[in-house]
Amino acid sequence: MNENTRFFDELQNPDGTPRRPYEDYFGWFSNEDLRRLQKKSREAETFFRRTGITFNVYGQAEADERLIPFDIVPRIISEHEWSKLTKGIEQRVRAINAFLYDIYHRQEILRAGRVPAELIAQNDAFLPEMIGVSPPGGVYTHIVGVDLVRTGEDDFFVLEDNARTPSGVSYMLENRETMLQMFPELFSRIKVQEVSNYPTRLRRSLAACAPTMANGGPNVAVLTPGIHNSAYFEHSFLADHMGAELVEGSDLRVVDGRIAMRTTQGYTPIDVIYRRVDDEFLDPLTFNPDSLLGVPGIMDVYRAGGITIANAPGTGIADDKAIYSYMPDIVEFYTGEKAILQNVPTWRCSEPGALSYVLDNLEELVVKEVHGSGGYGMLVGPAASKKEIAAFRAKLEAKPSNYIAQPTLALSTVPILAKEGLAPRHVDLRPYVLVSPDRIDITPGGLTRVALKKGSLVVNSSQGGGTKDTWVLGG
């Protein structure tokens, strides 16, 4: 990307005055002692370390647990900006749920030629075992994370949809808790919408999706792969904060056509499982026979309507990056409306013309694996060396259908606390969406991920990024 590219600065106008959402904060910051704030920043790191908020970095044995850096300058979004975003997010999530129902039933969108049939049939994320299965309440994606980027005042793009098991919500909650403890005066000065009630809202939303045979208050459990999983902290955090049981596959079994959890009093039926185990490992009788993480027979119980699995098996087809490129068509097909939130322009490398363009312009593009996540398996052309580009070119030529490519966007910047004061860094945003049969509930804010390295566009924690508290004003 050209070094002279102008990035949209969320903090200030071109004349250096603060943009309206930041006016009150900037007024407060201008009267603060920089050394005090830097001391507060170090205190925040100590707080996170004491709380045990870490994540695992796969393939790096020398540092398999890390602290995600936290920046104490909030990212601030106006009530008006948020209102527009929520309309677009709700429209998109409704379309995703309709798409999943259709794909596993009549497949009308394929018959209409709006999405190529081979893109579904040949996709590892599509589960034939889900054909004809209707989840309780018709909800497939109970929890969705929609990754957004911004390039201008009113220009927001969806970078990707996380419809399987979106992570990071524990950081959103702990970021807010930390800011409340460290800067209580700010929250009395500036009206910020609440996020701390997310676990209560999550439990209420999951309970509303319980199967019809659930008696009384539904029993909800969080299914974790175990303590060695990179997101285990989040699994235990959410179970604890929403008053649900944290279970592993070995704690569960099929009893009288229900999924039951082992307790000191015997086995107790579970109605809703918020699973953080991938499809492949969910049921060794249906999927991977070597899996020790899932529950033998759970898919039979699920197909019979005896358990709610959140998110539903097979939802990964909706956040596949090749399907992503068809999302504007998908939104229009199921809602009858143009997409409010736009996609990033995308080249599908499976198409010869697109592949040719991508190979000719690798130095300028971002190339991603269709099933990739966490910043792994991607090439950021403008930041890559000639050697890295050559190696990626060979991968692309060997298996082009495994990749999509996108232009390098001029991502907006927000301020971080640097040694010299405020400094701009690139960000994205992951709002969290809860879906139940009668409502879509979008938490006001979400997880802002920030590229702490100057000039970097990669915000993933696994690639050196950090996080911020996200403030939505008003409420």
When the pLDDT of each residue in the chain is averaged and rounded to a whole number, the result is: 91
- Report the C-alpha gap between 320 and 119 in whole angstroms: 10
Give the count of beta carbons closer than 10 Å to the beta carbon of residue 384: 18
Six-digit token pair at 240? 């604890």
Both structure tokens of 156:
């927001």
Share of the chain above pLDDT 70, in %: 94
Residue type, 80: H
Residue 57 — very low, low, confident or very high, per pLDDT cuts 50/70/90?
very low
Does 241 have pLDDT greater than 50?
yes
Which residues have C-beta within 8 Å of that of residue 434, sequence separation ≥ 6?
142, 143, 201, 202, 205, 440, 441, 442, 443
The highest-level CATH class for domain 345-408 is: alpha beta
pTM of the entire structure?
0.92
> 150: which strand partners?
156
Collapsed DSSP state (helix, strand, coil) of residue 281 = helix
pLDDT at 45: 85
pLDDT of 386: 92
pLDDT score of 372 more than 80: no
pLDDT greater at residue 216 or residue 149: 149
C-alpha 418/C-alpha 203 separation (Å) is 38
CA distance 426 to 444: 21
Q: What is the mean pLDDT of residues 290-311?
A: 96
Task: Give, in order, the Cα–Cα distances in Å from 279 to each of 163, 282, 311, 447.
Answer: 12, 5, 10, 25
* pLDDT above 50: residue 6: yes
Q: Report whether pLDDT(61) > 60.
A: no
